[in-house]
Amino acid sequence: MPSAIRFDAAERLTDLQGYGENAPNARWPNGARVALSIVLNIEEGSERHIDDGDSASENLNTDMNCDPIPGQRNLNLESHYEYGSRVGVWRLLNMFRERQLPVTAFAVGQALERVPAIGHRMVADGHEIAAHSWRWIDYRNMPREEEAEHMRRAVAAIRKVTGVAPVGWYTGRVSEQTRQLLLEHGGFLYDSDAYNDDLPYWVPHSGGHHLVVPYAFDTNDMRFASTPGFVSGRDWSDYLIDSFDQFWIEGAHCPRMMTVGLHCRLAGRPGRLRALARFLDHVGAHDEVWITRRADIARHWYTHHAVETELDKADLKPHQSEAPDEHRI
């Protein structure tokens, strides 16, 4: 049965103003000027594929620009995705381990289920695994119950592989009902299906408030697969450094959050990894930076910027079929 909790579409229009001139002091730990969130998308193996009943192979966010071929597999294109899970993810995870950097994975349930070693490694290294739905597909026109089932399958797959349930959610190609379904499912501290701010914010609904930790595309490696976009690694690292420096300047008076989104099949290529390393070296030369997981940012916001209503506790109820005392990253 649908939940009685509802988002009000009219209320959501007020997001055009957001914080405006009155952005809160984030009060990041240790007086950090910038909270840096690195997001690693685990998608390979969950994209559109003839063998999974789709009409064509996926063609988004790869180094091979081509149109889908209806009714036929595209083996060349498929191999670009395979690079991410075979090589790219391990190159990235090794760099994060060497630098002792905590990251958040946006993990698609089907992808993690097909290559569980990725989840095992991320848990061992202390990373957060947030849910990126069950498949890496477009949910805009999916029937409500089917999307709800995909949400349940994503959570179950992540729990099965990692032993913990996700507290963060990101669909990407969302439907108008996605956030409502998150509330009905329960167990999520936040979602990241928004690109409209440099700080977390609360979205009101009829039962309280829900936390959004916004994502970003401008700093995302997906711009190597878009037009216009990044061409060389230097393009990307220069843009990342310029973005960080501006956040750093603003952070003296109004601390901000910066997000860098990565894809194993893109950032996991050697030339792009060097660009990412160049950016991280630049960040490492600065004090007062909090490099952290999105779940930690969310918990910080609940602690220091909570909306004081009893009904907000509804957002923190356990996932369906989950014991209340189960540990969650």
The answer on pLDDT for 62 being more than 80 is no
The answer on pLDDT for 45 being more than 90 is no
CA torsion sign, 112 to 271 to 223 to 241? positive
The span from the first CA to the last CA of the chain, in angstroms, equals 29
Per-residue model confidence as pLDDT tens digits over 16-32: 889 999 999 999 999 99
pLDDT band at 9 (very low <50, low <70, confident <90, very high): low
Measured at the CA of 247, the angle between CA 241 and CA 250, to 5 degrees, comes to: 140
Here the tokens at position 48 are 């559109």
Per-residue model confidence as pLDDT tens digits over 223-261: 998 888 999 999 999 999 999 999 999 999 999 999 999
For residues 284 and 54, what is the distance between their CA atoms, to the nearest angstrom? 44
Helices 178-185 + 144-162 axis angle, to 10 = 50
Work out the average pLDDT over 194-210.
92
pLDDT, residue 256, reads 98
pLDDT, residue 11, reads 53
Per-residue model confidence as pLDDT tens digits over 256-310: 999 999 999 999 999 999 999 999 999 999 999 999 999 999 999 999 999 854 4
Per-domain residue ranges of the chain:
30-316
pLDDT, residue 12, reads 52
For residues 265 and 261, what is the distance between their CA atoms, to the nearest angstrom? 12
The answer on pLDDT for 76 being more than 90 is no
Q: Is the pTM of this model over 0.85?
A: yes
For residues 248 and 32, what is the distance between their CA atoms, to the nearest angstrom? 9
Residue with tokens 């167990």: 187
pLDDT, residue 44, reads 86
**30-316 falls under which CATH superfamily?**
Glycoside hydrolase/deacetylase (3.20.20.370)
For residues 61 and 81, what is the distance between their CA atoms, to the nearest angstrom? 9
Tell me the percentage of the chain whose pLDDT exceeds 70.
Answer: 87
pLDDT band at 207 (very low <50, low <70, confident <90, very high): confident
